[in-house]
Each structure stands twice: as structure tokens, then as C-alpha cells.
Amino acid sequence: MKQKVLVNSVFLFLAALALFGSQIYGQGINYPGNVPSNNGGAGNARTDADNLFTRNNPGAMTEIESEDIPDKKSNWRVMFEAQGVFYRYERKFTPFGFNQTVKSEVAIALPTLSGEITYTAKSKRYAFGVGLSQTFGFESKLKDSETILGSQAQFYDTKVASNDVAFAGAFRVHKKLSIGGSFIVGRAFLLQIAPVPQLAAIGIIKQNRLDVSRIGGVGASFSVHFRPTEKVSFGFNYKTARKYDLQGTLDTVFTLVTPTGLQFAPIQLNIKVPFKFPSIIESGVNIKPNERFFIDFDYRFYRYSKALDTISVLDKQSGTILATQNLNAKDVHLFLVGGAYNLTEKSKILYGAGLTTNALNDVSFNPGLNNSGGISVSGGYARRISGVWLNFGATGIFALNRTINAAPQVFFPGSYKSRGIIFGIGVRR
């Protein structure tokens, strides 16, 4: 019985992790791909100072466009952005034994922060920087109406993130070519609350609480920035797969069959889950027709089909494999466009949009893992005041509506919808 509890509970957890790298709001709350929020996150080939280089392309740091005094010996640059995320999830479904459609919904709000410090030599021969970002982040939440469903009402809440630090460097090989890379380390965590699947299937609602975390996830990136002309540049960035040995506890219930009926005893299990983030291939082109305007086109590929093929759950103390789950996640494709238009020397507008595919099939989908793919549309305004740039941005989130049809192995049929908005405030000097 204990192994079955582990298999089903941890399966939900592993599916949640499958959403980490999709990096667009349409997946749910997965905001890091859209940093800065005012231009959609595109930036693999761009060189303007509003880009997040340590995340998008360290090799381009040698080309950061300076807005300082021309004869300055070097260019230090600091930028940070705080975001407020507001989102609403909705599910319409017909519970077993009901003759009416039930609507479940919930709203969430949460903050995040990203930023970096970079140094570019005046000669542009070399550059380095350190960046802070929530490279993978996700929250999905849904609550049934107790007024309608009473004791059968279910509650799901999944919070996952990887807060990372990247130490990056770049070297200019030629006036048209720079190479770079970064060393990445982070702390991942997951806090998930969901019903015990086996009991929920027979109308008994008891909650699981999974709480795991770990410092690690060591990885690296390798990047190239190529500038064939003054008006066109290309970027390429490869991030290695990263592995976490997530550890923590699973609070659940142990079910006993007695002559008087089912009895439930609370238990806490110590577990660990070796888990891989996928390798990521990123590419982009920056087009700059004139000094006032530029536009970026990015494509990112996340190889989840390899990283999340088979996952094993181990006993924390003995290392014994308690269960193995075939997740069969799908590769994720992300398309981004973004840019800026300089109104004056002290003001500019920014814009962007994104499109992503989903990572989970219908069998893996559940109300706590709203993964539907979708689009985002971003816009913002920046102004320089006393040598400091202030950025204000917003992103509209439009997840694709997803219908999960009832079928064998599908436990959560229904119509799912999610929408949201993100506000960002940034500072750069």
C-alpha cells in the first residue's frame, strides 16, 4: 500500500516538474521566459542594455551598448526587475453521479525578481557578469465549490521553482564574433497539495502534502554572438541538462481495511527524487534598421522527451527504488518576438509576444497541472531620469483553452481555461 501511495502522489509531483522549462505564461504561471516583462523575453541576439544577458546569451555581453560617457574606461551595468503575477484558473466538468456541470475556479497572486550585474571592457575584448533569475517557475491552483460538492470538493495547489545564480563570461574573438558561457547553480523546491488519487476515485477526499527541495542543479551554457553586418546579428545559446537530487517529505494517509470499515492513519515518508532539467537550445536574430528601432525573433527548444522519460522514486535512507514512472513528456517549442523603439534619447517603448506548445498529454493532465500552451502579449515604457532608467511593463497571458475528454487512463476530464496579467517594474543604471 505504501508503494502505491508513493507512485500516485509522486507522479503528480513529477508531472508538475514537467512544466518548469516551457518558459512562457501560456503554460500557467511560468514567467521567467518573459523577463523583462515589457518585451516578451526575446533577446538571444540583442545587445541593447535592457537585455538579460546572463540568461539569454552571455556571449553578447562584449557588445552591450553603452549609454555612458564615450571615454569611460569600462562599462559597469546593473539591472533588476520585480514582477507581480495575477492569474485565474477555471475548470468546467460534470462530476461522477451529477447531472449538472460544475465550475471550479481560483485566483492567485505572487511576486518574482530577476536581475544582473555586468562589466564590459572599453575595448570590448572581454566581459563578465553575474545574474539572478527564477529560471524555472510554476504555480497551478484550483479549488472545487464546497457549496455544490460538499465533502467531495477537491483542492489542488502546486508551487515549483528553481532560483538560479549564473556566473557568466564572454570573449571577443573577432569584431564580428564573440563567444561566451556561464556556470549555473540553483535551489529548486516543490510544495504540492492534492487529494490522494486512490481514495478520491472512490469518493473519499484526503490530502497529500509533498515538500521537497535541494541546492544544486549545476549546469553550464555555451553561447555565440555573430554580427555579419551593423544591422543584423545572430545569437546561439546551449544550456546543458541539469540534475537535482530533490529531497523532503510526503505527508499522506495509510489506509487500513478493518471489520468496521476503512481506517486512515497519517504517515510521513522521507523520499528523494533524482530529477533532470532538460537541455535547451536557443537561437535568435536581431534586426536593427536604424538607431531608433530594432526587432528580435527567438526560437527555444526544450528536450523534455529525454529528461522526463522515466523517473524513479527512492527511499531517502536506503536508496531503494520504491517506484518507477513513465512520464512520456513532450518536447516544448517556444517562439518569441520582441523589440524597442526609441522615442527620444531619454525614453523608449518596448513590445513583445510569445507562443508555446504544451508538455503534457491528457493522461498526465490534472487540475493541479494546468498545462495548455498559449500566447503572451507584452508592452512597456522606459524613461531615463538622472542617469537611471526606469522600466514599466505588462504582459497579458492567454492560455489556450484545453478540453480533456473522458477516456481510459484519463482521470480529470473537463474544460480548462486560464488567463492572467503580469506587471513589471525595472531599474537599470
* pLDDT < 70 regions, the chain: 1-36, 67-74, 135-137, 201, 323, 325-326, 408-410
Give the pLDDT confidence score for residue 28 in this predicted structure: 38
Give the pLDDT confidence score for residue 54 in this predicted structure: 93
Question: Which CATH code of 3.30.2400.10, 2.40.160.60, 3.90.950.10, 3.90.330.10 fits the domain covering 2-428?
Answer: 2.40.160.60
Give the pLDDT confidence score for residue 288 in this predicted structure: 95
Question: Whole-angstrom Cα distance, residue 154 to residue 194?
Answer: 8
Q: Tell me: the pLDDT tens digits for 6-20?
A: 444 444 444 444 333
Give the pLDDT confidence score for residue 108 in this predicted structure: 85
Mean residue pLDDT across the chain? 82
HEC sequence for the chain:
CHHHHHHHHHHHHHHHHCCHHHCCHHHCCCCHHHCCHHHCCCCCCCCCCCCCHHHHCHHHHHHCCCCCCCCCCEEEEEEEEEEEEEEEEEEEECCCCCCCCEEEEEEEEEEEEEEEEEEEECCCCEEEEEEEEEEEEEEEEEECCHHHHHHHCCEEEEEEEEEEEEEEEEEEEECCEEEEEEEEEEEEEEEEEEECHHHHCCCCCCEEEEEEEEEEEEEEEEEEEECCCCCEEEEEEEECCEEEEEEEEEEEEEEEEECCEEEEEEEEEEEEEEEEECCEEEEEEEEEEECCEEEEEEEEEECHHHHCCEEEEEECCCCCEEEEEECCCCCEEEEEEEEEEEEECCEEEEEEEEEECCCCCCCCCCCCCCCCCEEEEEEEEEEEECCEEEEEEEEEEEECCEEECCCCCCCCCEEEEEEEEEEEEEEEC
Give the pLDDT confidence score for residue 44 in this predicted structure: 92
Domain boundaries, the chain: 2-428
Which residue pairs from 355-358 have beta carbons closer than 8 angstroms and sit at least 24 positions apart in sequence? 355/24, 355/26, 356/22, 356/23, 356/24, 356/26, 356/27, 356/33, 356/332, 357/22, 357/330, 357/332, 357/333, 358/22, 358/27, 358/330, 358/332, 358/400, 358/402
Give the pLDDT confidence score for residue 254 in this predicted structure: 81
- Which of 170, 199, 198, 200 shows the shortest CA–CA distance to 182? 170
Question: Whole-angstrom Cα distance, residue 139 to residue 378?
Answer: 20
Half-sphere exposure of 365 (CA within 13 A, CB side): 25
Q: Tell me: the pLDDT tens digits for 68-79?
A: 555 455 589 999
Give the pLDDT confidence score for residue 74 in this predicted structure: 58
Give the pLDDT confidence score for residue 135 in this predicted structure: 61
